[in-house]
Amino acid sequence: MRYLERDSIQTVAGALVEHYMPRSSRKQLEITGVFRELYVTWLVLAPISNRVQGYWRPWWSPGVVTSWMRIQVNRFHRFWLGRVPYDWATAQVASGAAAAHINDEAFIAHAQGLLDHATGDTLRASFARYVLGSLVWRQAAEATLSVAREYRAGMLWSEDGLWLLATKPFEGGGVEWGDLREQSADVLAWQTHVVGGLLHIKMNDASVQRLKEGVRTALASDASPEHKLRLINAAARSFHHFAWYAFDAKQQAHELERWVWRRVNRHIVQNTLALAERYFNLRLAQWDTRLHFERKSYLLDRDVTEEQWLNLWNPRR
């Protein structure tokens, strides 16, 4: 437990909880203790995750995933998408720890205990998966990677599962295959398919409905107009976080913008004109469809600003 007990690790973990959960920290809610333990563990595991091949690192943007897919499909003509979901209900730390050459039994037991928080749809559960994923599924991912190399397939993985892109499907590892030329497939927040040998990516139906439901819920609440607009802006920014890396999502976002604005204008802005300036307009949002090749690690790079470094530890991917 030496690393976990270091004053420097404990101090930084506490500061991160205060930064990302200020209200809960001020009220000293029980949840802050859980997040502090998760941050302590993440501060230890994050540098180790840099040695994991094919891993979508927490400090990499969604643009890394779209870029990986574009290269695999457009350049290497790998049209078969394979997926292996990870089941956190059966997750264990031991095999991943062995693959990572971690022999500290106290640390392994500590990480295993945190798995109790890793199931469900709460921020705590998603953050626990975020923190532990590179360790828990490392051995499984490395085993799949060795098979993928035999078939010259590309592989990328995260805490929730892995993706393969190949010229033809192959057996092993419980992979579910689909031909993107014949049928579209959801990857994270996107819907992907291949037309004329080129990859097309837009936001999937679930993401669109999530944005619309966020708007409806905000407008139906008893909150003040200011808070309603904050909730709507948050839903739009969450949508844009993935959309701005997908070229085909731009027109989609413009169409959604009309839908959102009609409701915001009718229920909020017409009654409180000053709030119009605070509205997050998807039509005016930035778009970045360049290929993204992120640096291996931001953790120790000297040219990373303090703000960038702090953003690495956001509990939301």
Mean pLDDT across the chain: 93
Query: Which is more confidently placed, 145 or 58?
Result: 145
> What pLDDT does residue 260 have?
98
| Contact of 167 with 78, CB cutoff 8 Å | yes
Taking only the tens place, the pLDDT of each residue in 39-50 is 999 999 998 988
In whole angstroms, give the CA distance from residue 71 to residue 291. 9
> What pLDDT does residue 302 have?
75
Checking 311-317 for CB contacts under 8 A at 24+ apart, the result is: 312/46, 312/58, 312/59, 313/16, 313/20, 313/39, 313/42, 314/20, 315/20, 315/35, 315/38, 315/123, 315/126, 315/127, 315/130, 316/123, 316/126, 316/127, 317/58, 317/126, 317/130
In whole angstroms, give the CA distance from residue 235 to residue 203. 14
In whole angstroms, give the CA distance from residue 180 to residue 248. 16
In whole angstroms, give the CA distance from residue 311 to residue 61. 11
Is 116's pLDDT higher than 90?
yes
Return the number of other C-beta atoms located less than 10 Å from residue 282's C-beta: 24
DSSP 155: E
Nearest to 88 by CA among 40, 143, 135, 50: 135
Taking only the tens place, the pLDDT of each residue in 134-165 is 999 999 999 999 999 999 999 999 999 999 99
| Contact of 100 with 136, CB cutoff 8 Å | no
Distance of CA 23 to the CA centre of its chain: 24
Taking only the tens place, the pLDDT of each residue in 269-289 is 999 999 999 999 999 999 999
Task: Give the tokens for residue 54.
Answer: 């094919």
In whole angstroms, give the CA distance from residue 302 to residue 46. 17
DSSP three-state, residue 161: strand
**pLDDT (average), residues 259-278:** 96
Cα→Cα distances 3→10, 91, 131, 304, Å: 9, 23, 16, 24
| Rg of the chain in Å (alpha carbons) | 21
> What pLDDT does residue 1 have?
54
